Structure 1
Amino acid sequence: MMRLIEKGLMYGNLFHVAGPAMADRYNRALKHLTGKTTSLTDFHVDISGYAPEIGDELDDHLYLNPQGCNRQFILLSTEQKTAPLLEAKFSTSRSILRRFIEANEAQLFALTARDAVAGELVNSVYTVSKPAHLLDIRRIKIEADTASGVVADAGKLDGLITEFRAREDAWWDDVLIADMITLAKKTGDVTRTPIHLDHAEYDQENFWTEHFGGLYVFRDVDDPRVLSVSGEDLGPMPLGEDTRPAIPLEDRNKVAKFLAQNELVEPIVTAKGVDAAAILRQKMDFIIVDVAATMEADVAQVDRRDLRTLARRYADLLPPEFHTLNRLLRWAEGGGAWPKVTSEDPAYFYTLRAAPHKDRDLVNMLLAELSPLDVRQLFICHKELFYARYRTWPEAKKAFVADFLAREYQVDKAGARAALFGSGDAPMQEEEDAPQERDIVDVVGPWGAVRRGR
């Protein structure tokens, strides 16, 4: 994994916590939330304040995410809004945190100048021991305050000031005035500088969760369903007025029918504003590399001419996905007949992308899971799955993919996403901003060395 880290493809753009003073702020918030503390004074945190180094130290990488369904967070700076979310259990968590930071940026900037802000993404579910519990999560509310309770104290002071102004005898109420003075020492003058955080609520209708082997929950569609990655029997899933079983991803016909009935996808070759031939050709290149690397061929520095040579050398080993995409490419370039591609074809989901709608990013994530040989889409739309599969690849394929992503994707993330998925919002995982001219330790943190030591 160090190859990905060095190229900024993993653990990129985390916020660096350096020095005893900032670490002490973090510790106060950590103690407030979890009762735990860290002895580290130099570490790196994601948008939620989770630090891989502290996860190693505590031997608990869910120390800010108890039961995997109640994400807590620690904000030391508004700069964390551009960081990724590590150890994500729900696809919506990062976007909710970023929206909260952006909606309260001025207040958070002032508060984090003196103390850390600690909070939680609150829902009505405290455990997900059964799959059906996930469907009880419909709205997420953020609650936050500094570790010393400045926001709560400011609210109390504001209420006392209102009472003081409304009562004619308030000047003779020594207790009221004493309480106001005590609170003002902690909060400052809230009449001139109000302290308030907008604890907005966010809907969670359609989402992915890592729980139970991976589930895609679609409730806000015409035909609501739950799609299961593992294919295990999850029992009845209550969806509105109906109770329906989950659709396993291995049942390709049902998955394809679900996507089509809800108008969630469109064929790449008929999508507007894309170079379909270029996209298909690249998908084919990835398949060639997968086969060649398995045969221990050198694919680290290959160009398209080399890939054609490898395709001829291993023609008998290329999977059905390659041949279907090749027929589709010939049609797209105007030199072949239209190939009929059904959901039974292993390449079917490779030929689709999400249609323009509010859940486009979630659908592209699902398609990435259904077309695992397209490593670029897998990296962009489903990083956790990309990292898990990367660990199993031959070294030659690891080198090729890392070099390709660093060369062809990192230099223009927004342009690449627009070319692949269309204009509009960024993909579900909301690519973190690329680090600019920073030392490698600042970018990836020191935990690589720690883990190698272990």
Structure 2
Amino acid sequence: MKRLIERGLMYGNLLHVSAPALVERYNRALRHLTGKQTALADFHVDISGYSPEIGDELGDHYYLNHNGVNRQFILLSTEQKRAPLLNATFSSSRKILRGFIDANDSQLFALTATDAVAGELVNSVLQIAEPARLFDLHKVEIEADTPGGRLRHSDELAGLVHRFRTKEDGWFDDDLITRMIAVAGRSGDITRNPVQLKSTEFELGNFWTALFDGLYLFKTVTYPAAISIRDASALGPIPIDNAFDLGDRNSIARFLERNGLVEAIVKAPGLDAVAVLRQKLDFIVIDTAAGSGLDLSGLNRSDMRRLARQSADRLPLEYHGLAALLNWAANGGGWPRITSEHPAYFYTLRAADTEDRDLVNMLLAELSPLDLRQLFICHKDLFYRQYAAWPDAKKAFVVEFLVREYQVDKAGARASLFGHEPDMSGETPPDPAAEMVRRVGPWGAVRRG
């Protein structure tokens, strides 16, 4: 993992906290939330205020995420919105935190100028002991305040001011005036510096959770389903008709197609499908050759072809399926029949342009784990777990590739792989290859139950 950290591929974009004033504010918030504090003079935090260094110090990397639900957070700066969310239990948590910060940017900026903001993503449950409880999660409400309760005191002062203004003998109510002065000392002048948070309630739609070894829950699509990493039968009774696991390839493929959640990469607008297919093939070759002890440094296109020839008898079916598709796309070869049972099937898809695009790409990364770039971009937790078991030569190759092809232009790489350009088919003649895909679906190969 040290190589990943040094090259900015792990714990990247965290906010560095080193100023004594910020450390003290963090400790006040940490004591307020957990009763604990750190002795560290500097550390890094993610969007939620979680710090890997403090997690090591406390021996608890879930010190802000007890039981995996109702995640707590500490904001020292609105710049935390650019940081990742580590140890995520729900795929929706970072989006919710980012939305909260964006919606209250000026208010949070004013609050964090003098103090930390501590809070919690409040679900309707305190603990999720069985998968069925996940269906009780419908919305997340954010509760936030400074450790000293500035927002609470501001609300209290606003109520006292209203009473003072509407009460006939308000000027003669010494107790009321005394209370207003005392609360104003803690809240500040709310007439000149009003601070009130908005957009603190968020709907919880479709999401992935790390609980129960990993589970994708699609509740709001036309044909709902739960997709489990472990055996679906182990989920027990759940209030949904369709429950699959990763072995149910036909069912998952049919689910994705019926809900319009995927598209074939060879027809995706704005995507150089030939280049993407070649890189997917390269990753599979590297994975196959990594265990042979070969030197994988400084490989060019010619070297990759040589490695493929040397490893031809060991290359998996994923390689041969994608190679046939590449031959069709680049050289006009025969149309490959890649059914949903074929190991290469999910490598040929990307998420369609829907609200659940990121979640679907995350699922596709899980279903096509040899595509290491997609795995890193869309499912970092799984990437890190797999990386830990790789041979050193494979680690070195993948790190260098990600630094060279992704790290230098993250936004551009994401846009080219997963972005969606406006459909211009009305202004240009139809592409024969795209027309073939349109007529037969992604492959015309999803087996109907």
Q: Give the TM-score, by structure 2 length.
A: 0.92
- Find out whether 1:372 has 2:373 as its counterpart: no
Instruction: Give aligned pairs, total.
Output: 420
Deviations 1:202-221 (A, max 9, x none): 11110000000100000011
Q: Does 1:33 align with 2:30?
A: no
Distance 1:47 1:127 in 2: 23
Shift of 1:168: 2.4
* 8 Å Cα contact 1:141-1:199 kept in structure 2: no
Matched, 1:401 2:398: yes
- Per the alignment, residue 445 of structure 1 pairs with none
Q: Secondary structure at the match of 2:154?
A: helix
Deviations 1:415-444, CA, capped at 9 Å, x for gaps: 1111111238xxxxxxxxxxxxxxxxxxxx
Q: Distance in 1 between matches of 2:312 and 2:172?
A: 93
Question: Does structure 2 retain, via aligned residues, the 8 Å contact 1:228–1:248?
Answer: yes
- Displacement of 1:237 after TM fit? 1.4
Q: C-alpha separation between the residues in 1 aligned to 2:168 and 2:15?
A: 51
Q: Name the amino acid aligned to 1:71.
A: R
Q: Paired residue for 2:71?
A: 71
Gaps in structure 2 of 5+ consecutive residues: 422-449
Deviation at 1:74, TM superposition (A): 0.4
Q: Give the secondary structure class of the aligned counterpart of 1:216.
A: strand
Residue 287, structure 1, aligned to residue 284, structure 2: yes
The alignment's C-alpha RMSD in Å is 1.1
Indicate the residue corresponding to 2:146 in structure 1.
146
Q: 2 CA distance for matches of 1:300 and 1:190?
A: 62
Q: Tell me whether 1:351 sits opposite 2:348 in the alignment.
A: yes
AA aligned to 1:410 is Q
CA distance in 1, matches of 2:313, 2:26: 57
Aligned equivalent of 1:127: 127
Aligned to 2:235: 234
Task: Give the drift of 1:200.
Answer: 2.0
**Match for 2:335 among 338, 355, 365?**
338
* 1:99 corresponds to: 99
Residue type of the alignment partner of 2:76: L
Q: Which runs of 5+ in 1 are unaligned?
A: 425-454
Normalising by structure 1, we get a TM-score of 0.91
1:410 to 403, 407, 410: 407
Residue 199 of structure 1 deviates from its aligned partner by: 4.7
8 Å CA contact 2:353–2:420 kept in 1: the answer is: no
Identity %: 62
Give the match for residue 247 of structure 2: 250
Task: Name the CA distance, whole Å, in 1 between partners of 2:416 and 2:291.
Answer: 30
Q: Write the letter of the residue equivalent to 1:236.
A: P
Task: Specify the code of the residue in structure 1 equivalent to 2:365.
Answer: A
Describe the SS at the equivalent of 1:238. coil
Native 8 Å contact 2:269 2:420 kept in 1: no
Aligned residue type for 2:147? A
Deviations 1:119-149 (A, max 9, x none): 0000101101011111111100101000000
2:18 matched residue in structure 1: 18
1:234–1:245 Cα contact (<8 Å) kept: no
Give distance in 1, aligned partners of 2:299 and 2:177. Answer: 76
Partner of 1:303: 300
Per-residue CA distance 1:9-65 (angstroms, 9 max, x = gap):
100111111143221111111111111122222111110000111111111111001
1:39 and 1:418 mapped to 2: Cα distance? 42
Higher relative contact order (CA 8 A, sep 6+): 1
Q: Deviations over 1:326-372 (max 9, x none)?
A: 10001101330100110110000000111111101100000000000
Contact 1:226 1:237 in 2 (8 A): no
Name which of structure 1's ranges 36-45 and 395-404 shifts more when overlaid on structure 2: 36-45
The letter of the residue matching 2:239 is: P
Distance in 2 (CA, whole Å) between partners of 1:245 and 1:296 is 44
Deviation at 1:165, TM superposition (A): 1.4
Runs in 1 of length 4+ with deviation above 2 angstroms? none
CA distance in 2, matches of 1:291, 1:49: 40
Partner of 2:121, secondary structure, is strand
Aligned-partner Cα distance in 2 for 1:413–1:80: 18
* Structure 2 Cα separation of the partners of residues 112 and 372 of structure 1: 41
Deviates more, 1:255-264 or 1:415-424: 415-424
Whole-angstrom distance in 2 between the partners of 1:250 and 1:329: 26
The one-character-per-residue Cα deviations of 1:219-241 (angstroms, maximum 9, x if unpaired) are 011111100011251112113xx
